[in-house]
Amino acid sequence: MGPGPSNVAPSVLAAQAAPLVGHLDPAFVKMMEEIKGMLRQVFLTRNEMTFPVSGTGSAGMEFCFVNLIEPGDEVVIGVNGVFGTRMADLAERCGARVVKVEAPWGRIIEPEAVAVAIERGRPKLVAVVHAETSTGAWTPIEDIAKLAHAAGALFVLDTVTSLGGCPVRVDDWQVDAVYSGTQKCLSCPPGLAPVSLGPRALEKARQRKSKVQSWYLDVNLLASYWGQERVYHHTAPISMNYALHEALRLVLAEGLETRWRRHQENHLALKTGLAALGLELVVPERERLWQLNAVSVPEGVEEAAVRRRLLDEHRIEIGAGLGPLKGKIWRVGLMGETCQPANVQRFLTALSACLQT
Ligand SMILES: Cc1ncc(COP(=O)(O)O)c(C=O)c1O
């Protein structure tokens, strides 16, 4: 019940343990097509360029930035936690002039603040984290995407923790480039980064003046492997793709709306149970994620000692605070398979026991 990886269904583990076929085998190629199709359904997009990058969520972030940023480009990045900070670092490494739109950790990125940053410069790209896992803040992105487009910039969205746990509507929101990870609300082991690029982003990647500095993540090369040509690029992690195929099948069998509702309901049950213990969530109610709950550590309670006891005595793992929230919060994940009423109850009972003695 930490910030990810989440629990993985037995059928996903079984799929991952299946015998290997070659990565250009017709059976695997068929599976690649099915994965692309299922990812389109989960991202709610028609984007042809939708596939899992070989690597974790950070590889998805890097994929978007190395392809879409050229040295000297101005980019506007929302920074309200660890992952916005990482985005800004990565954009700088791509040679961008980074303008940060900062918000306190535990709060969302406000469109008004993005508008001010956009007006001051001429950004080529605007990027935000949808679900900031380090704090539990859920930034609404529709208005930010509109502002980016009105200024002629591309809009990039991090959905590592949101995808599969709350609405992500890539086409409706006109997100130009989006990336995620497998190990949060998709409940698959870590190791792949689902990505999707829309037409504007693809155009930018194709019209670049400079070569993409990463050979491995160059979309122009990856397109020949994940597209119809099937030109060898790298050896896809076969077993991880087996696992993702099964995990996506489970997500779609449950249905996106039902799955989102399950995350909302368990979050509300957790919130009610925490309140009964006299505990509060850090993020204001309207800005709160369902799948990542940042709980304020009460005065006089030793944060790390409680986490240790939950693990040692109750076999429950939760996460610690990071950066300015270190020592001040617990991060309780209700992601994918982990997001079950029984887990909420078990956690509340265990936490109550740890706080009483
Ligand atoms: C919002 C967000 N973005 C990016 C990442 C990086 O993903 P990974 O750790 O899989 O590389 C994470 C990981 O927790 C995340 O929560």
- pLDDT single digits (tens) 85-139: 999 999 999 999 999 999 999 999 999 999 999 999 999 999 999 999 999 999 9
**Cα(356) to centroid(ligand 1), Å:** 34
CATH of 256-356, one of 1.10.3720.10, 3.90.1150.10, 3.40.50.300, 3.30.70.3270: 3.90.1150.10
Q: Give the pLDDT mean for 309-331.
A: 97
- pLDDT single digits (tens) 213-228: 999 999 999 999 998 8
pLDDT at 200: 98
CATH of 10-253, one of 3.40.50.2000, 3.40.640.10, 3.30.70.141, 3.20.20.80: 3.40.640.10
Q: Give the pLDDT mean for 199-212.
A: 96
Nearest CA to ligand 1 atom 9: 57
- pLDDT single digits (tens) 150-192: 999 999 999 999 999 999 999 999 999 999 999 999 999 999 9
Q: Is 129 in the pocket of ligand 1 (CB under 6 A)?
A: yes
**Cα(193) to centroid(ligand 1), Å:** 10
Nearest-5° Cα angle at 241, 21 to 267: 155
Flag whether pLDDT at 65 surpasses 90: yes
Flag whether pLDDT at 202 surpasses 80: yes
pLDDT at 74: 98
**Cα(34) to centroid(ligand 1), Å:** 25
pLDDT at 342: 98
pLDDT at 4: 97
Q: Is 160 in the pocket of ligand 1 (CB under 6 A)?
A: yes
| Domain coordinates in residue numbering, the chain | 10-253, 256-356
**CA nearest 158: which of 260, 80, 267?**
80
Nearest CA to ligand 1 atom 15: 160
Q: Is 4 in the pocket of ligand 1 (CB under 6 A)?
A: yes
Q: Is 106 in the pocket of ligand 1 (CB under 6 A)?
A: no
Tell me how far apart the alpha carbons of residues 81 and 138 are, in angstroms, rounded to a whole number: 11
Tell me if 162 sits within 8 A of 130, measured CB to CB. yes
pLDDT at 316: 98
**Cα(354) to centroid(ligand 1), Å:** 29
Q: Is 181 in the pocket of ligand 1 (CB under 6 A)?
A: yes
- pLDDT single digits (tens) 68-99: 999 999 999 999 999 999 999 999 999 999 99
**Cα(83) to centroid(ligand 1), Å:** 7
pLDDT at 228: 86
**Cα(314) to centroid(ligand 1), Å:** 27
Q: Which atom of ligand 1 is nearest to the CA of 129?
A: 1
In angstroms, the Cα distances linking 254 to 70, 142, 247, 248, 264 are 41, 26, 11, 10, 15
Tell me how far apart the alpha carbons of residues 38 and 50 are, in angstroms, rounded to a whole number: 10
List of residues 6+ apart from 210 with CB closer than 8 A = 70, 71
The neighbour count for residue 88, using CB atoms within 10 Å, is 22
Q: Is 56 in the pocket of ligand 1 (CB under 6 A)?
A: yes
Flag whether pLDDT at 13 surpasses 80: yes
List of residues 6+ apart from 158 with CB closer than 8 A = 57, 61, 83, 87, 127, 128, 129, 130, 131, 178, 179, 180
Structure pTM?
Answer: 0.98
List of residues 6+ apart from 274 with CB closer than 8 A = 280, 281, 293, 295, 348
**Cα(46) to centroid(ligand 1), Å:** 24
**Cα(60) to centroid(ligand 1), Å:** 9
Q: Give the pLDDT mean for 242-269.
A: 98
pLDDT at 258: 98
The neighbour count for residue 207, using CB atoms within 10 Å, is 8
Flag whether pLDDT at 357 surpasses 80: no
Candidates 86, 105, 160: which one to mutate for ligand 1, based on the most atoms within 8 Å of Cβ? 160
Tell me how far apart the alpha carbons of residues 142 and 320 are, in angstroms, rounded to a whole number: 30
> What average pLDDT does the structure give for the chain?
97
Tell me how far apart the alpha carbons of residues 68 and 222 are, in angstroms, rounded to a whole number: 15
pLDDT at 46: 98
Q: Is 190 in the pocket of ligand 1 (CB under 6 A)?
A: yes
Q: Which atom of ligand 1 is nearest to the CA of 61?
A: 4
Tell me if 83 sits within 8 A of 103, measured CB to CB. no
Q: Is 83 in the pocket of ligand 1 (CB under 6 A)?
A: yes
Flag whether pLDDT at 20 surpasses 80: yes
